[in-house]
Amino acid sequence: MTDLLRAEGVEKQFAARGGGMFAPHQRLMAVAGVDLELNPGETLGIAGESGCGKSTVARLLTGLIPLSGGRVTYQGRDLAALSRAEMALFRREVQMIFQDPFSSLNPRMRVSEILAEPMVIHGIGTEAQRRDRVDFLMNRVGLLPEQLSRFPHEFSGGQRQRIGIARALAVSPKLIIADEPVSALDLSIQAQIINLLQEVKRELGLGFLFITHDLSVLRHVSDRIAIMYLGRIVESGSAEEVLEHPRHPYTEALLAAIPSVDPKKRRKHAAPKGEIPSPLAPPSGCPFHPRCPYAEERCRVERPDLVEKDRPGHRAACHFSEKLPR
């Protein structure tokens, strides 16, 4: 089976100003050699701390920003080699959902126009067919027909996210990339939206790339998980393997830091020490070594590769995975 979307050694550098006003431009390695693949019908969850490169990966995979290195393939074909028509098809089949649906919805358009627009752009259907499809989508995401003529500001955050989801579904995508789709929502609304995303994923057999920093959401939605740190994937594997038997000390630290409502699950580890280093001056060797409780001399000089650990498909970038309890 060929994968739907694949990244091979994907890199992104940004020009950044370091230090004061007159400091020379520095290069910031936002994404530093990321490999991942996404299969049809599968949800890959990506987690990591703020600034680790999650959104940049999403934008690279959708071709929204150019790569600095590596390649992205869609159904086996290099994005860089797609013809104009093939690129248009890619843009239709791969849709994005954002954290803040407000900034991604045109404030001057009515909901009916927002939902029809992607179909117009991709030349799908007659006007009457598009109107039918809009009605279907409204119903599917739990909005009322009388809300069609309203503007985005007349909706609550959760309702706006429903509009964002409906718009992504309008053109029958094969893959949805959702960047923190529930992070800005209220607690009682998060569960509604997670359920909706899960339902449409199953109904339509969609592939999903789900970016979140909330590990309990990640556990709930993901088949496979990738944990990022400073622009790299440091651990990946099946959701259960990664979360139950982390092979990277950073994953272990993240899991220890999540506050839990269940007294039995509560781990009384001390909080992981130290701050997230600046991506402008990443540490030598293993990027996690200044914060790692298992670090040894080797970690300061030699960067570990992402390699398979004791279970098939479970990879970690750590010299001393065997020190972690199994």
Partner 1 sequence: MALLEIKGLSTHFSLPRGILKAVERVDLTVERGETLALVGESGSGKSITAASIMRLVPPPGRIVSGSILFEGVDLLQLSEDKMREIRGNRIAMIFQDPMTSLNPVFTIGEQVAEGLRIHRGLNRAQAEEAAAEILAQVGIPAPRERLKDYPHQMSGGQRQRVMIAMALALRPELVIADEPTTALDVTIQAQILELLDRLKEETRMGLILITHNLGIVAERAHRTAIMYAGSIMESAPTEELFANPLHPYTKGLLASLPENAKPGQELATISGNVPVLYGGTAGCPFRDRCPIGDAGCAATYPEMHDAGGGHLVRCLKAHD
Binding site for partner 1 (CB under 8 A): 49-50, 156-159, 186-192, 194-195, 198, 213, 215-217, 219-222, 239-240, 253-254, 256-263, 265-266, 270-273, 275-276
- Look at residue 112 and give its three-state secondary structure: helix
CA dist 158 and 143 (Å) reads 11
Distance separating alpha carbons of residues 37 and 61, to the nearest angstrom: 11
Residue 304 binding: pick among partner 1, ligand SF4, Mg ion, none (C-beta 5-8 Å cut-off by kind): ligand SF4
Min. distance of Cβ 54 from ligand ATP in angstroms? 3
Gap between the Cα atoms of 13 and 326, Å rounded = 36
Chain CA centroid to CA 67, Å = 17
Count of C-beta atoms within a 10 Å radius of residue 41: 15
CA dihedral 221, 224, 229, 231 (to 10 degrees): -100
Contact between 212 and ligand ATP per CB under 6 A:
no
Q: Which residue's entry shows tokens 């009457």?
A: 128
Show contacts with ligand SF4 in window 229-268 (CB under 6 A): 248-249
Residue-wise burial string across 200-237, b where 16 or more C-beta atoms lie within 10 A, e elsewhere = bbeeeebbbbbbbbebebbbbbbbbbbbbbbbbbbbbb
* Alpha carbon distance, N-terminus to C-terminus of the chain: 32
Choose the stretch contacting ligand ATP; rule: CB under 6 A; options: 47-55, 198-206, 281-289, 292-300.
Answer: 47-55
CA of 198: how far to CAs of 36, 41, 187, 210, 217, in Å?
22, 11, 17, 11, 12
User: Rounded distance, CA 156 to CA 146, Å?
Assistant: 16
Choose one: 53-61, 84-92, 125-133, 308-316; the region binding ligand ATP (CB under 6 A).
53-61
Pick between residue 55 and residue 321 the one whose CB is nearest to Mg ion. 55
Contact with ligand ATP (CB under 6 A) among 33, 40, 41, 51: 51
Residue of 286, 309, 314, 315 that binds ligand SF4 (CB under 6 A): 286
Site string for ligand ATP, 252-291 (x = CB under 6 A): ---------------------------x------------
Nearer to ligand SF4, 27 or 300 (CB): 300
CB of 65 to ligand ATP, least distance (A): 8
Write down the least CB distance from residue 144 to ligand SF4, Å. 23
**Site of interaction with ligand ATP (CB under 6 A):** 14, 16, 28, 30, 48, 50-56, 213, 279
**Site of interaction with ligand SF4 (CB under 6 A):** 248-249, 286, 288-289, 292, 294-295, 299, 304, 318-320
